[in-house]
Amino acid sequence: MANFREQLIDNTEVLTPCASCDPSFRQISVCFGTTQDFLCCQNGSPRIIFVPFVANQTDAQAFDQALVFFNDSSLETRSQRGYYSINQPLCGSTGDNLPQQ
């Protein structure tokens, strides 16, 4: 991380580390269905959701830990009620998309 110096009136300097410039949101590609059956067994549709940014998280971790999904990067408009999956094979496919155990 970079540092900056501030020149003060009395010719003293203060060396200060730059603040973090992390974004306030994370954008994640997901699949969406209005019902669980539609998402898992029919043809889930691709969507972009936004969640609050947390440093050192993967998309999967952010998806799992987010309490609410949003439609916008300002994190003001909640995403549509329904079923979401970060499992991309659920998007645009048909048939049984449940993971094999």
Q: In sequence order, what DSSP letters do the residues of 32-93 get, joined into one string?
A: EESSHHIIIIIIBEEEEEEEE--TT--HHHHHHH-S--BSSTTS-SBPPSSEEES-GGGBT-
**Residue 98 is assigned to a structural domain of this protein:** no
pLDDT of residue 92: 66
Domain enclosing residue 62, as ranges: 21-90
Number of domains in the chain: 1
Query: Residue 95 pLDDT > 80, yes or no?
Result: no
Specify the higher pLDDT residue, 68 or 95: 68
Residues 52-62: what's their mean pLDDT?
91
Confidence band, pLDDT 50/70/90 cuts, at residue 16: low
CB 42 within 8 A of CB 48: no
What mean pLDDT, rounded, does the chain reach? 79
**Residue 77 is assigned to a structural domain of this protein:** yes
**What distance in Å separates the CA atoms of residue 94 and residue 41, rounded to the nearest whole number?**
6
| pTM across the whole model | 0.67
Please return the burial class of 42, using the count of CB atoms within 10 Å of its CB with bins 0-12, 13-18 and 19+: middle
pLDDT of residue 98: 43
**Residue 8 is assigned to a structural domain of this protein:** no
Which token pair is 45? 């549709």
Confidence band, pLDDT 50/70/90 cuts, at residue 2: low
CB 92 within 8 A of CB 43: yes
